[in-house]
Amino acid sequence: MTFNLLGLGRNDLTSYCATLGEKPFRAKQLLHWMHQSGVADFSGMTDISKVLRERLSVEAAITGPTVVQDTVASDGTRKWLMDVGTGNAIETVFIPETHRGTLCISSQAGCALECSFCATGRQGFNRNLTVAEIIGQLWWANKCLGAYAGNNKSGHNNEARIVSNVVMMGMGEPLANFDNVVGAMQLMLDDDAYGLSRRRVTLSTSGLVPAMDRLRETCPVALAVSLHAPNDVLRNELVPINKKYPICELLAACVRYIEKAPRDFVTFEYVLLDGVNDSVAHARELVETVKPVPCKINLIPFNPFPDSGYGRSRPEAVSRFRDVLLRADLVATTRKTRGDDIAAACGQLAGQVKDKTRRAERRQKREASDELPLSPLTLLSTGSEAVQ
């Protein structure tokens, strides 16, 4: 069985090279070849000795996820369905814009948090992705989009990159897969790998407060928080993890995070659901709720998916909501919906998940017997196999 080098950070790769009797500079060479040039064949690594190349070809490999579907939307948004084995496939989305290209990366096969308006949450949960499977999405996107053309070891000019920004906003809760996500982000930030700045890597969380504090100390990148409600009663319904970490605790964690963050604010994401959380009264309450935190509000019109039970807020409701925030001197923007014709928009990523939580089965039983749902908090607190 070969050893996959794609997910090894600088320290682990240096240690691996040491087991082969090689100097630390070999790790730097391998990082360049894998992540700056996209080379997966050791025979093409021309500044490495032939003896080492032959040994690596026998003992190691550079292997990313297998792409099983590649879809392009009418607006140029591109979505890849990637096979990660054991009956699971994850989705990765590239959003091209005039001055940047943003890659939305998944961290888990499914999600255990079961936010009510999210297609991923409906799929259930199978497992965490490995570092190689997470960074492999960026590696593949660069290869597919031509960033490695001619094995060009270009400098780190963000404006010249095809993928200039990475957002951990795909399938899964990134902070529930803390070690692997941080390992992948450290590769994104490493100047000998992708060399992205901390401002250009954003992690989105539903609010796992202890993990937010850990991230602050370990790898503080730009932070986005899925808020979606101005009070605990409503957020308990939409984002059930709020029952464990209520808004007051979440906001306090945001204030602590900013102390070491690359930006002096946190982005609050707020999906607008017709008749649920989009009234002027909700907007006014939100103004009061977020006062303690330097922030930007990113309003997201709901992107429908089958049997969601929610509708998209009307444009006039979105405008009224935003205007309340702007009049209160908050920075508020409305996210442009991208890729919804190929189900690549925010909240629509579903992939293919072999669900260990048996969520679909339980939902069918609830619909038949009108039972209350099993809270995802139960899964988190009991150490269920589904969230290990």
Residue 116: phi and psi, rounded to 5, are -70, -20
**pLDDT for 160 beyond 80:** no
Q: What is the pLDDT of residues 196-209, one digit of tens each?
A: 999 999 999 999 99
pLDDT of residue 75: 85
pLDDT of residue 357: 74
Query: CATH 3.20.20.70 in the chain, residues?
Result: 66-387
**pLDDT for 314 beyond 90:** yes
Give me the mean pLDDT over the 127-150 stretch. Answer: 91
Packing angle, helices 280-289 and 315-327, rounded to 10: 30
Q: What is the pLDDT of residues 255-265, one digit of tens each?
A: 999 999 999 99
Q: What is the pLDDT of residues 164-217, one digit of tens each?
A: 999 999 999 999 999 999 999 999 999 999 999 999 999 999 999 999 999 999
Concatenate the DSSP letters of all residues of 32-62 into one string.
IIIIIS----GGG-TTS-HHHHHHHHHHEE-
Handedness of CA 226, 232, 235, 241 (dihedral sign): positive
CATH-assigned architecture of domain 3-61: Orthogonal Bundle (1.10)
CA distances to 1, 220, 300 from 84, in Å: 18, 28, 29
Query: CATH 1.10.150.530 in the chain, residues?
Result: 3-61
66-387 CATH pick, 1.20.1560.10, 3.40.50.1820, 3.20.20.70, 1.20.272.10? 3.20.20.70
pLDDT of residue 47: 94
Give me the mean pLDDT over the 229-242 stretch. Answer: 97
Give me the mean pLDDT over the 313-341 stretch. Answer: 89
What does the block give as tokens for 278? 């989009």
* Helix, strand, coil share (%) of the chain residues, nearest 5: 40, 20, 40
Give me the mean pLDDT over the 121-147 stretch. Answer: 92
pLDDT of residue 352: 72
Give me the mean pLDDT over the 298-326 stretch. Answer: 91
Q: What is the pLDDT of residues 86-122, one digit of tens each?
A: 889 899 999 999 889 999 999 999 999 989 888 888 7
> Which residues are identified as catalytic?
91, 346
pLDDT of residue 42: 96
pTM recorded for the entire structure: 0.88
